[in-house]
Amino acid sequence: MIQYKQLITTIVISFFITLILGPIVIPILQRLKVGQSIRDEGPKTHMLKSGTPTMGGLIMITAICVTTLTSGMLNRDLYVILFATISFGLIGFIDDFIKVVLKRNLGLKAYQKLIGQIIVAIIIAVYQSSISISSTKIFIPFMNQYLDFGILYIPFIATVVVATANSVNLTDGLDGLAAGVTLIVSSFFSLIAMNWGYPSIAVFCGALTGACLGFLRFNAHPAKVFMGDTGSMALGGAIATIAILMNLTLLIPIVGGIYFVEALSVILQVASYKITGKRIFRMSPLHHHYELKGWKETKVVVVFWSVTLLLCIVGLFSLN
């Protein structure tokens, strides 16, 4: 079983790879003029972010891949998580490329992204249902037992993967928010994987944690680079697959509660406006609502990080 020393080493390696790549990749993105465009209806303070390089998720994805592929812990599970990370990252990259390089503001059409995401999600679901000793069973938090989803397993898992990837994407709206939240969530899963006998998954979680920590060096306020859909989609796909391969799918809305409420705020906002013509929040996703209420961006980020930490503690109790 992987030891704490090995896990820390993995985190450190990924962290330093990210730190090294940042000063190399960011100037390249600047020269390519792949700057972030800011919505006019958003908080006015965000207009200062216009032109900040995006697609910085390439830095994290590279660090994660290099660290895991050289870890000596390669197995099928690790390859599946890498597949999910790279595939969702590629979907995000294509979307970013169309928006910031080809200057088409809408990027990929919604159905195009959804088709790609569903295909990848189904592959992950089929793999887990075929390979896992638990088959179509999923652990139920707080109850210390498994529930067999049977024929509903594949559509359920595919839905979770797609929903998680898009939820992380929605969370990526403030400097350091998505990277910080994912850093905490991946740290949680690294500890669980290490103690539950999933050494290769623990290694990947360590690489993900280190990459997020290193990326915060460039993405914390004031951000020098944004991860873009390239990064947020990759992080979402990774977190979902990590939980699924350990049969802890139902932990995602607990430890990833911030992802969940960010996505829920958008759904409720749209539904309310279409049905009643009124908005529930000043702006969605939720982090913008608090900004428009007068919270500083850094306060929103720190509060959301803190909430995630508390939710991960709850997640630990739910496994006992």
- Binding residues for Mg(2+), as ranges, are 169, 229
Residue 52 near residue 26, CB atoms below 8 Å: no
| Known binding positions | 169, 229
Rounded Cα distance between 233 and 39, Å, is 20
